[in-house]
Amino acid sequence: MQAFIISIGEELLIGQTINTNAAWIAAQLNQVGSEVREVRVITDKKTEILRCLREAEDLAGLVLITGGLGPTRDDVTRDALCEYFDCGLVVNEDVLGDITTYMERRGRKITDVNRDQAMVPEKAFIIRNPYGTAPGFWFRQGDKSFIAMPGVPYEMKEMVLKHIVPALESTPREQHIVHKTVLTHGVGESVLLELIADWENNLPAAVQLAYLPSTGIVKLRLTGKGSNKETLLEIIGRELEKLKQIIPEYIWGFDDDSLEGVTGRLLAKKGKSLATAESCTGGFIAHKITSIPGSSAYFKGSIVAYANKAKEHLLGVSHDLLDTQGAVCRQVAEDMAAGARQTLEADYAIGVTGIAGPDGGSKSKPAGTTWIAIAGEHEVISQRFAFGDNRKRNISRAANAALAMLKDYIERL
């Protein structure tokens, strides 16, 4: 079944709020074989909602709507749905009970505005909301479904996972959709395209390939569509094995893997520990590492040595070295890594120093010049990178490059 997602809210249109709801809903629908035809973001105006509903009905069998179900004057989705489906509002005692319980548990008094939210479209099946005061509405018109949900993400997700996905899973499907994403690092999109050109040109007809470049990482998404899910999984599995033989040195993970997660699992498996010494990344590598649950089992800590004196006093980097070669050079990165490893008593350490930009560069060391070192028990390795002049992107690319270097370093021991 093809789907159409409508996200309602002025805050989405002006960029005040990022529309994460649509992306999350699309991912859930794909898992149950429903293909998203279009995503539309519109303002909180009844005329716009009605226009979009008409267009969505012509294009898809499933229309999912988020936003505009709250108690304030700018929330007009409920009224628009009543007009579209030519129905009135009735009090739903179950919803009123849910709202009363919700308010009492929070020590708040129920108001007339809250009670008004128990007025629901008489033609809709009601999706109860344990986490808020706005219920969801499910309308059926012929063979088409229209489902309206609150825009608050955790309220919407509860409805999707507990009601919508189970209903779709129980419906006989003519099509299954299978995705598999291969994560690569250390190779650009254009080079990767050439390396796997023959493999791509010979992919089965049921499988499509998409290139998804991001900061320092290129994702290869394989999508299979067909009537038999098991057959699709087998086909994609065979193609993945072929791809692993072509570019084994660039593949580091699959699907929702992260470099920090993959590296963390390696450290935990080997019973080894890690420390970081960061200059231009300002602690971002440590932040990524500690975003993984259980990282305390292998991460010792980080020394953010931004100033030269901090590099000297905290990491033992030579004053003469900093004075003669500057902070951005191979030896400083290596000494930072070695210093962090010794100071924090870790098995491995990362050292990063660079010019994040956009200013501060020179002809010999332009903005984006970054040295990354990995220190282990018996050796220290390092590599120079040229990332460009975008500060935020440089910090992210440096962090990914450092984690990829560490992963490769651990795997080859």
pLDDT for 36 beyond 80: yes
Task: Tell me if 202 sits within 8 A of 217, measured CB to CB.
Answer: no
Do 12 and 160 share a structural domain? yes
What's the average model confidence in pLDDT over 117-123? 96
Residue 159 · residue 127 · CB < 8 Å: yes
CATH number of the domain that 226 lies in? 3.30.70.2860
Q: Is the pLDDT reported for residue 324 higher than 90?
A: yes
Inter-residue contact 158 to 24 (CB < 8 Å): no
CATH number, domain with residue 365: 3.90.950.20
Cβ partners under 8 Å of residue 178, min gap 6: 223, 224, 225, 229, 232, 233, 236
- Whole-prediction pTM: 0.77
Domains held by the chain: number? 3
357-403 per-position pLDDT tens digit:
999 889 999 999 999 999 999 999 999 999 988 999 999 999 999 99
Residue 150's pLDDT band, with cuts at 50, 70 and 90, is very high
pLDDT in tens, 157-211: 999 999 999 999 888 777 888 999 999 999 999 999 999 999 999 999 999 999 9
140, 169, 198: which is the final residue of a domain? Answer: 169
Gap between the Cα atoms of 207 and 222, Å rounded: 7
| Residue 116 and residue 50 share a domain | yes
* pLDDT confidence tier of residue 344, bands split at 50, 70 and 90: very high
Q: Are residues 25 and 164 in the same domain?
A: yes
Query: Which range marks the domain in which residue 121 is found?
Result: 2-169
**How many angstroms separate the CA atoms of 355 and 349, rounded?**
20
Q: Same domain for 288 and 216?
A: no
Boundary of a domain, candidates 169, 200, 219 = 169
Which residues, 6 or more positions from 110, have their beta carbon under 8 angstroms from its beta carbon? 99, 100, 103, 104
Whole-number pLDDT of residue 53:
97
Residues 185 and 235 in one domain: yes
Radius of gyration of the chain (CA): 27
The predicted model gives 317-343 an average pLDDT of: 97
Among residues 169, 188, 205, the one where a domain terminates is: 169
| 68 Cβ contact partners less than 8 Å away, ≥ 6 residues apart | 8, 9, 44, 49, 74, 75, 76, 77, 78, 80, 151
Identify whether residues 311 and 334 lie together within a single domain: yes
Q: Residues 274, 221: one domain?
A: no
